[in-house]
Amino acid sequence: MGADMSITGKTYWRGFRDGAPFILVIAPFGLLFGVVAAEAGFNLLETMSMTVLVIAGAAQFAAVQMLTDNAPVVVIVLTGLAINLRMAMYSASLTPHLGKAPFWQRGFIAYFMVDQAYGVSIVKFEVEPEMPVPQKVAYYFGVISPIAPMWYGFTLLGALAGSAIPEEYALDFAIPITFLAMVAPALRSLPHVAAAVVSVVVSLALSWMPYNLWLMIAAVLAMMTGAWIEKRLEARA
């Protein structure tokens, strides 16, 4: 029993080390959201409530921008759902690895389902599929441990600082870097690459649409493309 706990502990810290580099982009990402929310008129409670309850940076940025533009509530909700549809795909791919974990653990895993935690964990689980479920759970929580506190803390700092941070610091660089760091290693199969290409092409072609509606269309078409190609490949195999 003691040996198992020791191995699980080591696995947790291995996950912590693998997730730690994302602090370099999560910190400015959270700081930027806090600033944007403050400038949009959100008070500290509203900003932190969204950050803690939603914990989805891209969807939060989109929601704040659309609220600022007085977009209809229905459009805001649908946009948030479209942006976060990828979480359903994340959950499906993690189920074979974490689906047998206790219910309360799966509840926390679902809450902390963010791009970085998924991207790092799924690569590890696919490389080491024989890893026991308790160790996989420990690894997942290890990855998220340095990420979530940074997101909360730097959002708070950004909200408190408000517009005091000069524009020339260009904190918005953190957004594309975060997604590139997560997505690039995952582009290891034809369905993944095809979905990425379709999402980029559709997003650019429909960027003129109001209220970020292109996000919903691009997300749906990309997922459909990836699923269709994956089924075709399975049928051939």
Predicted structure pTM score: 0.74
User: How far is it, in rounded angstroms, from Cα 109 to Cα 99?
Assistant: 10
- pLDDT winner (highest mean) among 70-74, 160-164, 194-198: 194-198
Q: Does residue 209 have a pLDDT over 90?
A: no
In sequence order, the 6+-apart residues with CB closer than 8 A to the CB of 31 are 154, 155, 157, 158, 161, 165, 171
In sequence order, the 6+-apart residues with CB closer than 8 A to the CB of 122 are 90, 93, 94, 97, 186
User: How far is it, in rounded angstroms, from Cα 225 to Cα 198?
Assistant: 8
Count of C-beta atoms within a 10 Å radius of residue 214: 19
User: How far is it, in rounded angstroms, from Cα 115 to Cα 128?
Assistant: 20
- What are the structure tokens assigned to 63, written together? 């929601």
Count of C-beta atoms within a 10 Å radius of residue 212: 23
pLDDT digits (tens, 9 = 90+) for 75-111: 888 877 777 877 887 888 899 999 999 999 999 999 9
Least confident of 23-27, 31-35, 96-100, 162-166: 162-166
